[in-house]
Amino acid sequence: MNTPPQTQPQKRPIIFSAMQPTSGSGGGLTIGNYIGALKNWVELQKDYDCVYGVVDLHALTIHPEPAALRKQTLDVAAMYIASGIDPEKSLVFLQSHVPAHAQCAWLLNCFASMGECQKMTQFKEKSEKHSARVGLFTYPVLQAADILLYQANLVPVGEDQKQHLELSRNLAERFNHHYSETFTVPEVFIPKVGARVMSLQDPTKKMSKSDENPKATIFLTDSADEIRNKIKRAVTDSGSEIRSGDDRPALTNLLELYGVATGTSVEAAEQHFLGKGYAEFKAELADAMVAMVEPITKRFHAIRNDKAALNAILKKGAEEANRRAMRTLRKAYKKMGLVELE
Ligand code: AMP
Ligand code: TRP
């Protein structure tokens, strides 16, 4: 009797994304990181082969305090999992555990031009604040290595990373053209909803984990009381209507947050709050924020307190990431003419 043909499991497109464990003065991840990135990363697990790194080598460019870097690297990994990234489905690892990232960055450094690195907005901005190190200059080349090593098809990032992604694409194309097809040329993917969560104190500025004003940012580890207080003190626009619009940046941001946290549209939220005042709106928004953040915080503490389990996840992630990254690195070495011993 004929056995039915073995159906090959369909190869799913590959996603790569990553976050730095520290930026500026440090602090943990924010609801901006969750809404703008992690929430989408979790969704993408359904249809893609996802690789999520914690890019600790990138963080070294601004000289974080070693103990803080160590702590925050593990915090970010735990927060990935607390947000819903399933290490059984997706690859979660620390960049410094996979030497191929630094090795591949070197290969790509030999392809990147001074000019294209010099024109990167992030480099220009950061080199004004810190005395410019070479690491900051080649930061986007290391980022390209992160992505290209996993042959990623799609890279979900915030708007601000578009330029870095363009460099990754150019480097991949240049390498492929010079030798032969080696790296997949990745596409940038910028999610529309929640692409920019703004500061609660200045709605023209992005909410950031390194904001000097702690009232501006809701951290994923904030208590319910802290969240309620920050929402209560959030700046609003003049007038008393709960309405969004270009002339109402503060309310637009708060209504978008309400929409994301309750799964409703901004229009539906405006309808819901028609004729109601700021106090009532803020109380409901605070409830919705707490309901969104609290389960994440709880899972985060549970994961962070089980050191052995987190270690095991990161060890397994590193092994698999090394296996996949080395396959690409070896291919690139060979094409470039580096000797491989039998
Ligand atoms: P960062 O915290 O700047 O290192 O960013 C890590 C990831 O979170 C990137 O994908 C950002 O685009 C995203 N992200 C950070 N802050 C926000 C924000 N305020 N709104 C939306 N996304 C954000
Ligand atoms: N530069 C990115 C940021 O600041 C972090 C990052 C490093 C990254 N390597 C990456 C993002 C690879 C996407 C893919 O947010």
CATH number of the domain to which 272 belongs: 1.10.240.10
Answer yes or no: do 59 and 164 share one domain: yes
User: Measured from the CB, is residue 297 less than 6 Å from ligand 2?
Assistant: no
**312-332 pLDDT, tens digit each:** 999 999 999 999 999 999 999
Q: For position 18, which CATH number holds? A: 3.40.50.620
Q: What is the DSSP string of 73-135?
A: HHHHHHHHHHHT--TTTSEEEEGGG-THHHHHHHHHHTTS-HHHHHT-HHHHHHHHHSPPPHH
Q: How far apart are CA 201 and CA 203, in angstroms?
A: 6
Answer yes or no: do 151 and 253 share one domain: no
pLDDT at position 11 is 87
pLDDT at position 194 is 58
pLDDT at position 62 is 85
Answer yes or no: do 326 and 277 share one domain: no
Answer yes or no: do 169 and 66 share one domain: yes
**What's the average model confidence in pLDDT over 11-38?**
86
pLDDT at position 73 is 96
Answer yes or no: do 154 and 261 share one domain: no
**What's the average model confidence in pLDDT over 36-62?**
95
Q: How far apart are CA 10 and CA 150, in angstroms?
A: 18
Tally of domains within the chain: 2
22 or 156: which leads in pLDDT: 156
**Domain-located, residue 2:** no
209 catalytically annotated: yes
Q: pLDDT class for 24, splitting at 50, 70, 90?
A: very low
pLDDT at position 2 is 54
pLDDT at position 27 is 57
- Return the ligand 2 atom nearest residue 140 CA: 1
Answer yes or no: do 42 and 121 share one domain: yes
pLDDT at position 12 is 95
Calculate how far, in angstroms, residue 8's C-alpha sits from the geometric centre of ligand 1.
37
**119-171 pLDDT, tens digit each:** 999 898 888 876 778 999 999 999 999 999 999 999 999 888 999 999 999 99
Answer yes or no: do 289 and 316 share one domain: no
pLDDT at position 25 is 46
Answer yes or no: do 185 and 48 share one domain: yes
**Domain-located, residue 230:** yes
- pTM for the full predicted model: 0.93
For residue 284, is pLDDT > 90?
yes
89 catalytically annotated: no
Answer yes or no: do 28 and 144 share one domain: yes
Q: Which residues contact 139 (CB under 8 A, 6 or more apart)?
A: 58, 61, 120, 122, 123
- Return the ligand 1 atom nearest residue 195 CA: 21
Answer yes or no: do 163 and 28 share one domain: yes
Q: Which domain holds residue 93?
A: 14-195+307-336
**Domain-located, residue 6:** no
**Domain-located, residue 126:** yes
| Average pLDDT of the chain, as a whole number | 93
The secondary structure of residue 28, as a DSSP letter, is -
Calculate how far, in angstroms, residue 248's C-alpha sits from the geometric centre of ligand 1.
22
11 catalytically annotated: no
**Domain-located, residue 207:** no
Calculate how far, in angstroms, residue 20's C-alpha sits from the geometric centre of ligand 2.
7
**Domain-located, residue 67:** yes
User: Measured from the CB, is residue 141 less than 6 Å from ligand 1?
Assistant: no
Calculate how far, in angstroms, residue 176's C-alpha sits from the geometric centre of ligand 1.
31
Percent of all residues in the chain with a pLDDT value above 70, rounded to a whole number: 95
For residue 309, is pLDDT > 70?
yes
| Among 39, 89, 126, 316, the one annotated catalytic | 126
**188-240 pLDDT, tens digit each:** 998 776 568 999 999 999 998 888 898 999 999 999 999 999 999 999 999 88
Q: pLDDT class for 9, splitting at 50, 70, 90?
A: low
**Domain-located, residue 9:** no
Answer yes or no: do 60 and 191 share one domain: yes
- Return the ligand 1 atom nearest residue 158 CA: 12
Weakest-pLDDT range from 22-26, 29-33, 231-235: 22-26
> Which among 211, 244, 216 is positioned nearest to 230, based on CA atoms?
216
Which runs of E-coded beta strand occur in 165-241?
187-189
**What's the average model confidence in pLDDT over 10-22?**
92
| Among 11, 71, 129, 206, the one annotated catalytic | 206
Answer yes or no: do 150 and 31 share one domain: yes
pLDDT at position 191 is 76
